[in-house]
Amino acid sequence: MISAWAVEAVARLDAERERTPATPLRRFPLPDGWQVRLWLKDESTQPTGSLKHRLARALFRQAIASGRIAEGTTVVEATGGAMAVAQAHFARLLGLPYIAVMPEKSSGEGVERLGGTCRHVDPPLAIYGEAEKLAEEVGGHYLDHYAAAAAVDWHGGDLAEELFGQVAECPHWVVVDPENSAYFPGWASGAADYSTGMPSRIEGIGRPRMEPGFVPDLVDLVVPVPDAASVAAARRVRQDTGLPVGAATGTNLWGALELITRMRAQHVRGDVVTVIGDADPRHLRTCHDDAWAESRGLDWRPHATRLERLLDHGEPW
């Protein structure tokens, strides 16, 4: 029996999806004469400001429809931090208590503003065990987005589906990965249990272990991107669009430029689409701030010069 609360909750989530407009595609300027166009799908226009909004909505919907979240259930998540604001938003929309378990260095500010609670743990790999234990203790539900993402039912909120309606031809797949993350070495070596145990310096992406939601067989190519290059490329996106994007958007631009370079070498024409994962004035104090980058040993300058040579002068990558 589906409760009246669950019916109402699912209806609220669907209504929220209906009134949230499709995120725009922005053209990223490339030198004249290139037969390739680059588009940025701007997920910073989501109500909670990042691409995690879609997945958070789908996870709540699925857990409610299957009875794992009911009226009053405390919702618990293990997260590097990027997912927490979007989930706190939906917990509040549905009147559910929400607790995010995150590494010490992650900020819980946005979560608390939305009425959620943060629990910080160390080392970063302890978030999973702590979230599971906490959910059991309070009789709550551990959403586990790293695992659930592999089999999520998007109910029309899917980024890929929305994108395919906005472009003429189906784009190829590409995935980028920052330093210290397990995805690239795990994908390249075929080791499904690869672990680095190290936190990523690029906010919002990268994981210390291969997550179950990452399905290597579905991925055509993983491009590892140096963190300093991500910072340089995020600054370049800001220069060209005015948006204070996070460093992860720089990682995306860098990966897209690697792919475009391959296409041009092979005389392939077409559109490449990547994602603006988030944009927020607080990034003016992170990757766009010289002192922030220097204190982390991230020398973006040589990478910025490389971007200028390619984008402003059409020189080889």
Stretch that binds ligand PLP, among 62-70, 77-85, 215-223, 290-298 (CB under 6 A): 77-85
Member of 9, 60, 73, 81 binding ligand PLP (CB under 6 A): 81
Stretch that binds ligand PLP, among 1-9, 191-199, 204-212, 297-305 (CB under 6 A): 204-212
Residue 58 touching ligand PLP (CB under 6 A): no
Residue 116 touching ligand PLP (CB under 6 A): no
Please report the DSSP string for 142-189 in residue order: E--HHHHGGG---TT--HHHHHHTTSSSPPPP-EEE-TT-SHHHHHHH
C-alpha span between 44 and 39 (Å, rounded): 14
Residue 82 touching ligand PLP (CB under 6 A): yes
**240-to-39, 150, 233, 245 alpha-carbon distances in Å:** 12, 34, 11, 11
CB of 214 to ligand PLP, least distance (A): 6
Member of 214, 245, 247, 250 binding ligand PLP (CB under 6 A): 214
Q: Among all chains, which residue has been given the structure tokens 């055509």?
A: 220
Query: What is the SS3 assignment for 279?
Result: strand
CB of 62 to ligand PLP, least distance (A): 16
Residue 307 touching ligand PLP (CB under 6 A): no
**Under 8 Å between Cβ of 141 and 63:** yes
Stretch that binds ligand PLP, among 59-67, 80-88, 278-286, 294-302 (CB under 6 A): 80-88
Q: Is the Cβ of residue 83 or residue 135 nearer to ligand PLP in the bound state?
A: 83
Beta bridge partners of 120: 102
Q: Contacts with ligand PLP: how many residues (CB under 6 A)?
A: 11
Residue 222 touching ligand PLP (CB under 6 A): no
What count of Cα atoms within 13 Å lies in the side-chain half-sphere of residue 267?
0
Residue 7 neighbours by CB under 8 Å, 6+ apart:
none
CB of 9 to ligand PLP, least distance (A): 23
Residue 141 touching ligand PLP (CB under 6 A): no
Over its C-alpha atoms, the chain yields an Rg (Å, rounded) of 20
One-letter amino acid of 214:
F
Residue 247 touching ligand PLP (CB under 6 A): no
In the complex, the residues that contact ligand PLP under the rule CB under 6 A are: 52, 79-83, 204-205, 207, 213-214
